[in-house]
Structure 1
């Protein structure tokens, strides 16, 4: 029985308000139990780093996600490993055989020239839903805000469904300082020119998630969410935690 006034959430086959979880090897039986209860608040599942390549029963895991209407894809590290070894055609065949329709084009470890990534995206977008990532996993590498803005816009214009802002599963690089502090100036600048519904902000901790919820609204796209934390995140989105308690009962970001 619903009796509280809560912020409105997107639902069903969402195009924004996304929760993208990271799966670092959740056992198949455990995953089935999680999805049975929480699949309605999970939209995308990243098979973290290159773990898909060594995951037992990977076909069954992919099929399980799809049965619960969750979109699985392989972490960008597997793309970069394939690129480094000149195995992109083999990687694409691997995805086709698994029935995976989403692909991440990243350069978090390698420095793949932007022009080359844009060309790859233009070729892949005819067959796959492409997600690109901006930012380095190296916390010592700093990108000017102007480059963040330009790169995100170019990637979206090239045909990406979404662009991920790098944050790692530790929240210590990309849009975060080494100590885990959010680069708020960067976020504020990006929000001035770019539709937040097209960005997936990596936010591995509750502290990070709550910042974006309060800054953008309950329907912000969040990634690198631990699969065991999806219910906590949904409660935060709905103002059911002290830090988000006063979110207004309005259709935030329902454009």
Structure 2
């Protein structure tokens, strides 16, 4: 090992080059086994949609992730559910009880004005590390590239640690068309105008993951990754797959900001 010339890859505890998996109900025993082998490739774990609320032994699951140095947090849908019922304070207590100190503020379902989300970031960043999300799960809602850039930048400036570009676990909304095609011109515009070290692009499929790796570099931040795909993704990042084979000569050009 060590003989190949490969792209530079950040190491844990990394601040970019993040792999964020999505957990839709991984059994505890299976989770322990996978993390024992692959935890070095996983930085964050989103307990998907609102599933944390009905996950058996959720506290134990949170503890397992933390024991393997993986940051757990709840999906934005759960935040939006509490928020829609005017129970945000109860949600904050729920996260505190779970010893979860990251919170996602999203607008995937609810139409929460940007100004309101920025105020939430200002409030919540005192007690949590905040992740913002831009984009809707509704494929009928359209946003122009300047609006994406404005919201992403505004959320970062307000105090978010990272911002996520909506893509759903299916890759059919937000930065994707309903048929799964990536809105490439939108992504090119975001890459040119936003600090990509702090943007997590939802990329649930190998095709989309390789697109971002080839456009941004080995250390693109990728989210909604399936836990069984993390080894494959790491190989992709290092140019060990045909579609990323020539990554060794490519710098992280998008990280010039």
Displacement after TM superposition at 1:168 (Å): 0.3
TM-score of the pair, normalised by structure 2: 0.97
Distance 1:64 1:249 in 2: 38
Displacement after TM superposition at 1:252 (Å): 3.4
Partner of 1:176: 176
Distance 1:251 1:144, change over 3 A: closer
Partner of 1:131: 131
- 1:74-133 CA-to-partner distances (Å, cap 9, x unmatched) read 000000000001110000001001100100000100101111111111000011110010
| Counterpart contact for 1:166–1:202, Cα < 8 Å | yes
In the TM superposition, 1:16-165 aligns within 5 A as: 16-165=16-165
SS in 1 for 2:248: coil
Distance 1:143 1:59 in 2: 37
Distance 2:197 2:147 in 1: 20
Distance 1:46 1:216 in 2: 23
Runs of 4+ in 1 over 2 A off after TM superposition: 249-255
Partner of 2:198: 198
- 1:35-75 CA-to-partner distances (Å, cap 9, x unmatched) read 00000000000000000000000000000000000000000
Stretches of structure 1 that go unaligned for 5 or more consecutive residues are none
Partner of 1:7: 7
Distance 2:133 2:120 in 1: 13
SS in 2 for 1:17: coil
SS in 2 for 1:248: helix
SS in 2 for 1:163: strand
Distance 1:250 1:144, change over 3 A: closer
| Counterpart contact for 2:134–2:151, Cα < 8 Å | yes
Distance 1:170 1:58 in 2: 24
Query: How many residues are aligned here?
Result: 255
Displacement after TM superposition at 1:2 (Å): 2.2
Distance 1:6 1:144 in 2: 36
| Counterpart contact for 1:9–1:251, Cα < 8 Å | no
Stretches of structure 2 that go unaligned for 5 or more consecutive residues are none
Partner of 2:235: 235
